[in-house]
């Protein structure tokens, strides 16, 4: 649709930002819902991020998404931080309030859990322990979501144990850091396996893990979506495990921000999924 002088503005701030699928994603919803608005990529160097953040309300932006490498910096610079974002330690969604101040939120935990529940509708938090691979920013959101959902035990494995221990201390709950070398044994009795590392992503080393101890009923989720079907998901599917790919997390995490900026709650559909992946 044609933009007017009253168009609502939002965007995604990153460095680089050219790879982001968020403009395509939000553009689909804006067109579908007939909203007078625009969502634009904002390539901002780390040294310019504070100035860019300060400029958002002055330029009339309703808010923005924040992607690498700015998520932790955003947490320190916003005027208000929602409790979940503070707990996770990162902000991925900025909302400009009516008074011009900026609130930092984290919608990655919501996006992860919605994707998991819709991709594996039979999964229940009480089904058994969850095994989470990785202890980076994405893992923090995933672990927080699983703790809040009521998973009885979360076995957290990272190539650096100290980082896993720090994550467990920060998030709280039944999180048990384990050495990376025991990752195969950690699958015994699990109800869920989640890969949050870059291992298996295009251009990255493969994820080396033996799934033999994983129960056939356990759900396997890889948050990587390039490629969409990772070696982990292919191996799990061959064993008969239910699998959930990573693109849904991207789609669902975008819903709360879009609603806050543009005043309408969008829907995640197969049509949207195909469009974003194209």
Give me the CATH number covering residue 228.
3.40.50.720
Q: Which domain holds residue 75?
A: 8-107+249-277
58 counts as catalytic: no
Same domain, 149 and 192: yes
Beta carbons of 7 and 38 less than 8 angstroms apart: yes
Q: Are 151 and 222 part of one and the same domain? A: yes
Output the pLDDT for position 2.
76
Co-location of 148 and 211 in the same domain: yes
Mean pLDDT, range 132-159, rounded to an integer = 97
One domain for residues 253 and 210: no
Number of domains in the chain: 2
Beta-strand pair 93-96/61-66: antiparallel
Identify whether 229 is part of a domain. yes
Cis (ω within 30 of 0) for the bond into 87? no
**What is the band of 156 on the pLDDT scale with cuts at 50, 70, 90?**
very high
Do 236 and 253 share a domain, yes or no? no
Distance CA 48, CA 46 (A): 5
Q: Tell me the two tokens of residue 71.
A: 């998520």
Q: Are residues 129 and 236 in the same domain?
A: yes
Question: Any alpha helices (H) in the chain, and if so which ranges?
Answer: 22-33, 49-58, 71-77, 83-88, 108-119, 137-149, 161-171, 231-239, 247-262, 270-277
Instruction: Spot the catalytic one: 6, 31, 45, 71.
Output: 71
Looking at residue 31, which CATH number applies to its domain?
3.40.50.10860
Percent of the chain exceeding pLDDT 90 equals: 98
Confidence (pTM) = 0.96
Note whether 231 and 211 are same-domain residues.
yes
Query: Is residue 70 included in any domain, yes or no?
Result: yes
CB 154, CB 135: distance < 8 Å? no
1 pLDDT band, cuts 50/70/90, is low
Please check whether residue 82 lies inside any domain of the structure: yes
Q: Quick check: is 17 in a domain?
A: yes
Q: Are residues 38 and 93 in the same domain?
A: yes
Q: 34 and 57 share a domain?
A: yes
Residue 93, in any domain of the structure = yes
């Amino acid at each position: 649709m044609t933009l007017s002088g009253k168009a609502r503005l939002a965007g995604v701030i990153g460095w680089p930002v050219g790879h982001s699928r968020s403009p395509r994603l939000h553009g689909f919803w804006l067109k579908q819902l007939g909203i007078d608005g625009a969502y634009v990529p904002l390539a901002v160097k780390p040294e310019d991020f504070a100035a860019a953040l300060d400029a958002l309300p002055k330029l009339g932006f309703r808010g923005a998404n924040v992607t690498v490498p700015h998520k932790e910096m955003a947490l320190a610079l916003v005027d208000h931080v929602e409790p979940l974002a503070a707990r996770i330690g990162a902000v991925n969604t900025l909302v400009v309030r009516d008074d011009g101040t900026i609130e930092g939120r984290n919608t990655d935990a919501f996006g992860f859990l919605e994707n998991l529940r819709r991709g594996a509708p039979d999964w229940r938090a009480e089904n058994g322990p969850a095994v989470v691979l990785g202890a980076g920013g994405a893992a923090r959101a995933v672990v927080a979501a699983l703790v809040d959902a009521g998973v009885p035990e979360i076995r957290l494995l990272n190539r650096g144990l100290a980082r896993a221990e720090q994550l467990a201390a920060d998030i709280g709950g039944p999180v048990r850091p384990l050495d990376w070398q025991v990752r195969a044994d950690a699958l015994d009795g699990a109800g869920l396996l989640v890969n949050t590392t870059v291992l298996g992503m295009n251009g990255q080393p493969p994820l080396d893990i033996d799934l033999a101890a994983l129960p056939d009923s356990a759900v396997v989720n890889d948050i990587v979506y390039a490629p969409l079907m990772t070696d982990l998901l292919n191996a799990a599917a061959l064993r008969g495990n239910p699998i959930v790919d990573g693109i849904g997390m991207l789609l669902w995490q975008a819903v709360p921000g879009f609603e806050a900026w543009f005043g309408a709650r969008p829907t995640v559909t197969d049509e949207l999924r195909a469009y974003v992946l194209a």
